[in-house]
């Protein structure tokens, strides 16, 4: 394989150096940046009761720095941050990992198991591979990956998303990507093995100062300029509610436009959805969602993805279910939201060809950056991606059954608000016949959306009867989640875990199928 | 020279072209009509020429023609153009929200986004009146865009004219404000024609603007745009102005004329008649209580008499404080 990422290691030193050069050269006021860094770091470290003396020293020294010394200090600090961000892609690990991953994440994520069992043994099984379905305009994306840099901007539900997406790319014969992963994940005993070796660079979300953001943006931008296909989760963080993102930050993905402006490198954005029958961290995430907005945690360090047992359980469960994980690639667009053809040419919504350069030329015909304009282009690109997310969402058995179950739950406790509903200690039992009717209703509404191209249905949802869906969802949910979620008892169905039901029904809420009150 | 193209040769388009030319801009007016020569304004029948002439294109066609003209014009535009419309109205389109299958209301810049390759859009609004503008009297206009270069280009196009231009990034807000103010202006004309006292007219105006703001917020607008020049400012101009077509329509309805023939008699395009029921539906769908919009849609245009309409409004459930 000749994808640029395999040259990553040879370029690493040069990459870091280029990042530092760019950040220092484009800094208008080094003292201001240093002061901002010291201010934010002092606040952060003092609040955490950690040693902040080096930043205090920096802050005190700023008054006496001349222009040259300030720039030198900036260079040192930028260099430190750039090295911290720098990823590490090892082609040997990639080759190894991509063969192994299908076997089961549990094994892959525990390298010691590989040592114990031997590679050959591990490679024979292939259960999970058959479970991750990829779909969408894959041929076109393959061609575009040869003509420019592909920037994937998928939905984000789980810490497993990046390994799963990496596998989906491999399985679709698409070249691998670099991506920024939260630095906290690198201390996660389970995921760090992967991260460190699969083109991930590190994003420290605790650092709020401008200099760090500049380093990160320069790093990402230069990767894209050099043709490294990239992956960003534009939701910024995993969806807490389980709902499809309705608000995108794009943030670093905006460097795709910057790379195009700086070098003319063709950049193609590919929105995508990653869909699970079961979400690894469902319980933690929905708990966090239901907390008061102000108390919700931006970084969660102690969820299910740090626990080997839960990951193993999830993978075992997924591996035994048809189509339990689906990655759907959306229509590729240019940085201005225009669709592109196989050759990478851009077209407006009337199918007329348009030159992407025309969006970034000034009155004088020169291409240039413009913070306000480019930020707005990127926001509008986010809107295009969100529209695609809805149409490319793959509705799974658990979503359908949870939607029906939650609707019955609401009907049984009419008038109760969300919090009263999900905090019910007693179980609600609904007649099985009612439950099946409700499921059929959800199926019908989904089929209608599907006909209009407004959603995708998993093969299981498309073909199964309501009774089959209920049975499969019950097995899946109860087989993985900590306590039973719903349970058929004779002619009744007991709804046991409203929170988990809410989480899965939220996937369809923005389609108007699930209850919208749960994602607001 | 500062090149500007104006597409649409109605009274409003001619007024804008005249004002820009008076300020020294190099104006090309696209119109199919013959007309009196305007100093400093050249005419063309070619959209291609209009697109080539200037980066800034002002679109001033009636709202019902925005899509069709936008599509034709779009064939000659590219990403470097700045497209600003001065059109009051909203467009009804099949819903793109999966949860709702009916008709949705979208702004005209949304229509232009579908019909052209342009990204940098803007809209004109505010209390400026066609007459004031064409006579060269001092006046105030609002331009909205997410893009600062659009705001700057419009300001620059009218720099030498006697017009003061305020800017806002709330494009959705200004477009909704212009459209809904057009409906409220009909109500103001009607109230005046029905002999409603100044105190009550003013109350309807204020409550109407608040109501319009609540509706537009559901469409993504900022509320404060409605209390500024683009909303309340625009409507105040209707209270004191006899010339405005919406006000004249309201007066005619108060005399008991039938809406369609009243509009025909005015010889002007007024979108309020078809827009009001759509906005009332939109409000209902988004759970916004809108008694004044309802009164226009289902009272004025349904030819109910003034006492009946006013009685309905005076006894409507209270929404919010004063």
Answer yes or no: is pLDDT of A102 > 90: no
Residue B255, class by beta-carbon neighbours within 10 Å (0-12 exposed, 13-18 middle, 19+ buried)? exposed
Selecting from A350, A361, A449 the residue whose C-beta is nearest the C-beta of B74 gives: A350
Give the per-residue pLDDT at A92. Answer: 60
Give the per-residue pLDDT at A21. Answer: 97
The two three-digit tokens of residue B31, written as one number? 């119109």
Are the C-beta atoms of A270 and A329 separated by less than 8 Å?
yes
| pLDDT tens-place string over residues A114-140 | 444 433 343 334 455 556 889 999 999
CA distance B285 to chain A (A): 13
Distance (Å) of CA A325 to CA A102, A168, A246, A501: 12, 10, 22, 18
Q: Once rounded to an integer, what is the mean pLDDT over residues A314-330?
A: 79
pLDDT class of B312 with cuts at 50, 70, 90: confident
**A59 — contact with chain B (CB < 8 Å)?**
no
Give the per-residue pLDDT at A295. Answer: 56
Q: Return contacts of B297-300, CB within 8 angstroms, 24+ apart.
A: B300/B186, B300/B187, B300/B190, B300/B250, B300/B253, B300/B259, B300/B276
Answer yes or no: is pLDDT of A106 > 80: no
Which candidate in B76, B78, B107 is best for mutational testing of the A interface (most A CBs within 10 A)? B78
* Bridge partners for A479 per DSSP: none
Number of other CB atoms surrounding residue A96 within 10 Å: 16
Round to whole Å and give the CA distance between A353 and A345. 7
pLDDT class of A420 with cuts at 50, 70, 90: confident
Structural domains of chain B, with CATH: 2-169 (3.40.50.720), 172-314 (1.10.1040.10)
Considering only CB atoms, which chain A residues are within 8 Å of B97? Answer: 512
Give the per-residue pLDDT at B161. Answer: 80
Closest chain B CA to residue A510? B99
**A507 — contact with chain B (CB < 8 Å)?**
no
Percent of chain A with pLDDT over 70: 81
CA distance B79 to chain A (A): 4
How is B258-279 classified by DSSP, letter by letter?
-HHHHHHHHTS---HHHHHHHH
**B146 — contact with chain A (CB < 8 Å)?**
yes
CA distance B178 to chain A (A): 23
Q: Once rounded to an integer, what is the mean pLDDT over residues B183-194?
A: 91
Round to whole Å and give the CA distance between A156 and A172. 20
Round to whole Å and give the CA distance between A178 and A141. 16
Cα-flanking dihedrals φ and ψ of residue A60, to 5°?
A: -70, -30
| pLDDT tens-place string over residues A192-225 | 655 655 677 888 889 999 999 999 999 999 999 9
Sequence spans of domains, chain A:
4-83, 91-389, 394-518
| pLDDT tens-place string over residues A242-292 | 999 988 888 888 999 999 999 999 999 999 999 999 998 899 999 889 886
| pLDDT tens-place string over residues B189-234 | 999 888 988 898 888 899 999 999 999 999 999 999 999 999 999 9
Considering only CB atoms, which chain B residues are within 8 Å of A373? Answer: 120, 147-149
- Given an 8 Å threshold on Cβ–Cβ distance, is A373 in contact with B55? no
**B113 — contact with chain A (CB < 8 Å)?**
yes
Instruction: Select from A186, A211, A222 the least CA-distant residue to A201.
Output: A186
Q: Once rounded to an integer, what is the mean pLDDT over residues B171-199?
A: 93
Give the per-residue pLDDT at B94. Answer: 86
Give the per-residue pLDDT at A116. Answer: 46
| pLDDT tens-place string over residues B104-138 | 899 999 999 999 999 999 999 999 988 889 898 99
CA distance B118 to chain A (A): 8
Q: Which of A151-160, A185-194, B37-46 has the lowest mean pLDDT?
A: A185-194
391-420 in chain A: CB under 8 A from chain B: 391
Give the per-residue pLDDT at B237. Answer: 86
Residues ≥6 apart with Cβ < 8 Å to B74: A348, A350, A352, B112, B115, B116, B117, B118
Q: Which CATH class is domain A91-389?
A: alpha beta
**A125 — contact with chain B (CB < 8 Å)?**
no
CA distance B147 to chain A (A): 6
Answer yes or no: is pLDDT of A191 > 70: no
The two three-digit tokens of residue A147, written as one number? 């003509």
- Given an 8 Å threshold on Cβ–Cβ distance, is A452 in contact with B98? yes
| pLDDT tens-place string over residues A474-499 | 999 998 888 899 999 989 999 999 99
pLDDT class of B307 with cuts at 50, 70, 90: confident
Widest CA span in chain B: 58
**A264 — contact with chain B (CB < 8 Å)?**
no
| pLDDT tens-place string over residues B42-66 | 999 999 999 999 999 999 999 999 9
- For A183-253, list the strands marked E by DSSP: 200-203, 230-231
Give the per-residue pLDDT at A416. Answer: 73
Q: Once rounded to an integer, what is the mean pLDDT over residues A223-250?
A: 91
Are the C-beta atoms of B127 and B140 separated by less than 8 Å?
yes
Closest chain B CA to residue A453? B98
- Average pLDDT score over chain B: 91
Selecting from A355, A455, A511 the residue whose C-beta is nearest the C-beta of B79 gives: A355
**A387 — contact with chain B (CB < 8 Å)?**
yes
Closest chain B CA to residue A455? B98
| pLDDT tens-place string over residues B67-96 | 999 999 999 999 999 999 999 999 999 887
- For A192-336, list the strands marked E by DSSP: 200-203, 230-231, 267-276, 325-329
Q: What is the helix, strand, coil percentage profile of chain B, to 5?
A: 50, 15, 35
Considering only CB atoms, which chain A residues are within 8 Å of B114? Answer: 349-350
- Given an 8 Å threshold on Cβ–Cβ distance, is B74 in contact with A355? no
Considering only CB atoms, which chain A residues are within 8 Å of B79? Answer: 336, 354-360
**A336 — contact with chain B (CB < 8 Å)?**
yes
Percent of chain B with pLDDT over 70: 97
Are the C-beta atoms of B25 and B158 separated by less than 8 Å?
yes
**A511 — contact with chain B (CB < 8 Å)?**
yes
Q: Once rounded to an integer, what is the mean pLDDT over residues A88-100?
A: 55
**B32 — contact with chain A (CB < 8 Å)?**
no
Which candidate in B52, B82, B98 is best for mutational testing of the A interface (most A CBs within 10 A)? B98
**B79 — contact with chain A (CB < 8 Å)?**
yes
CA distance A511 to chain B (A): 5
Percent of chain A with pLDDT over 90: 58
Q: Once rounded to an integer, what is the mean pLDDT over residues A180-203?
A: 68
């Amino acid at each position: 394989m000749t994808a640029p990422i395999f040259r990553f290691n040879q370029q690493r030193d040069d990459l870091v150096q280029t990042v530092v050069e760019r950040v220092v050269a484009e800094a208008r006021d080094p003292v201001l940046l240093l002061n901002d860094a010291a201010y934010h770091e002092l606040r952060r470290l003092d609040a955490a009761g950690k040693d902040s003396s080096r930043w205090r020293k920096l802050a005190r020294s700023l008054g006496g720095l001349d222009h040259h010394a300030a720039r030198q200090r900036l260079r040192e600090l930028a260099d430190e941050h750039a090295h911290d961000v720098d990823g590490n892609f090892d082609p040997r690990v990639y080759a190894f990992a991509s063969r192994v991953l299908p076997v089961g994440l549990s094994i892959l994520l525990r390298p010691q198991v590989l040592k114990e069992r031997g590679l050959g043994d591990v490679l024979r099984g292939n259960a999970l591979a058959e479970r991750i379905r990829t779909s969408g305009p894959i041929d076109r994306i393959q061609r575009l990956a040869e003509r420019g840099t592909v920037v994937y901007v998928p939905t984000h539900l789980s810490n497993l998303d990046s390994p799963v997406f990496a596998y989906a790319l491999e399985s679709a014969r698409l070249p691998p990507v670099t991506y920024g992963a939260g630095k906290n994940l690198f201390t996660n005993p389970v995921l760090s093995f992967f991260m460190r070796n699969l083109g991930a660079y590190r994003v420290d979300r605790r650092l709020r100062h401008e200099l760090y953001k500049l380093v990160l943006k320069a790093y990402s931008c230069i990767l894209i300029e050099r043709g490294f296909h990239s992956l960003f989760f534009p939701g910024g963080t995993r969806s807490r509610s389980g709902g499809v993102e309705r608000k995108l930050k794009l943030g670093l993905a905006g460097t795709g436009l910057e790379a195009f402006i700086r070098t003319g490198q063709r950049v193609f954005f590919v929105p995508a959805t990653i869909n699970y029958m079961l979400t690894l961290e469902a319980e933690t995430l929905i708990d966090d969602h239901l907390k008061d907005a102000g108390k919700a945690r931006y970084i969660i360090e102690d969820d299910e993805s740090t626990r080997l047992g839960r990951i193993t359980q999830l993978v075992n469960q997924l591996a035994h279910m048809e189509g339990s994980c689906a990655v759907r690639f959306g229509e590729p667009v240019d940085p201005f939201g225009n669709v592109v053809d196989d050759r990478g040419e851009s077209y407006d919504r009337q199918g007329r060809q348009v030159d992407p350069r025309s969006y970034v030329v000034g009155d004088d015909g020169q291409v240039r950056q413009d913070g306000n304009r480019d930020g707005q282009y990127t926001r509008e690109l986010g809107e295009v991606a969100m529209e695609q997310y809805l149409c490319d969402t793959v509705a799974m058995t658990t979503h359908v059954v949870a939607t029906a179950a939650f609707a019955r739950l609401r009907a049984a406790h009419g008038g109760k608000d969300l919090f009263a509903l999900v905090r019910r200690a007693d179980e609600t039992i609904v007649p099985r016949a009612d439950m099946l009717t409700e499921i059929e209703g959800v199926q019908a509404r989904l089929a209608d959306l599907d006909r209009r191209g407004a959603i995708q249905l998993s093969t299981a949802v498309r073909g199964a009867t309501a009774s089959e869906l209920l049975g499969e969802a019950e097995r899946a949910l109860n087989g993985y989640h900590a306590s039973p979620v719903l349970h058929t008892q004779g002619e009744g169905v007991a709804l046991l875990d409203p929170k988990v039901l809410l989480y899965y029904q939220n996937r369809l809420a923005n389609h108007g199928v699930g209850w919208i009150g749960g994602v607001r | 020279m500062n090149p500007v193209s104006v597409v649409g040769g109605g009274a409003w388009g001619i007024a804008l072209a005249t004002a820009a030319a008076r300020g020294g801009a190099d104006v090309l007016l696209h119109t199919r009509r013959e007309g009196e020569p305007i100093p400093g304004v050249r005419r063309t029948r070619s959209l291609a020429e209009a697109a080539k002439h200037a980066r800034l294109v002002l679109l001033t066609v009636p709202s019902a023609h925005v899509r069709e003209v936008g599509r034709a014009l779009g064939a000659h535009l590219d990403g470097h153009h700045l497209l600003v419309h001065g059109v009051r109205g909203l467009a009804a389109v099949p819903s793109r929200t999966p949860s709702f299958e009916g008709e949705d209301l979208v702004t005209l810049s949304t229509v232009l986004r579908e019909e052209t390759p342009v990204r940098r859009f803007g809209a004109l609004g505010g209390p400026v009146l066609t007459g004031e503008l064409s006579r060269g009297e001092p006046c105030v206009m609002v331009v909205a865009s997410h893009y600062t270069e659009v705001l700057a280009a419009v300001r620059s196009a009218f720099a030498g004219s006697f017009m003061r231009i305020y800017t806002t990034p709330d494009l959705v807000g200004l477009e909704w404000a212009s459209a809904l103010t057009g409906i409220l202006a009909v109500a103001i004309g009607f109230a005046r024609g029905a002999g409603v006292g100044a105190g009550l007219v003013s109350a309807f105006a204020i409550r109407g603007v608040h109501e319009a703001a609540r509706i537009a917020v559901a469409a993504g607008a900022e509320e404060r745009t409605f209390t500024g020049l683009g909303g309340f400012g625009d409507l105040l101009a209707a209270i004191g102005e006899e010339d405005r077509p919406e006000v004249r329509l309201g007066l005619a309805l108060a005399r008991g004329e039938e809406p369609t023939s009243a509009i025909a008699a005015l010889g002007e395009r007024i979108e309020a008649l078809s827009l009001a029921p759509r906005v009332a539906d939109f409000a209902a769908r988004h759970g916004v209580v809108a008694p004044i919009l309802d009164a226009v849609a289902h009272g004025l245009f349904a030819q109910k008499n003034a006492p009946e309409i006013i009685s309905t409004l005076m006894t409507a459930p209270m929404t919010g404080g004063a």
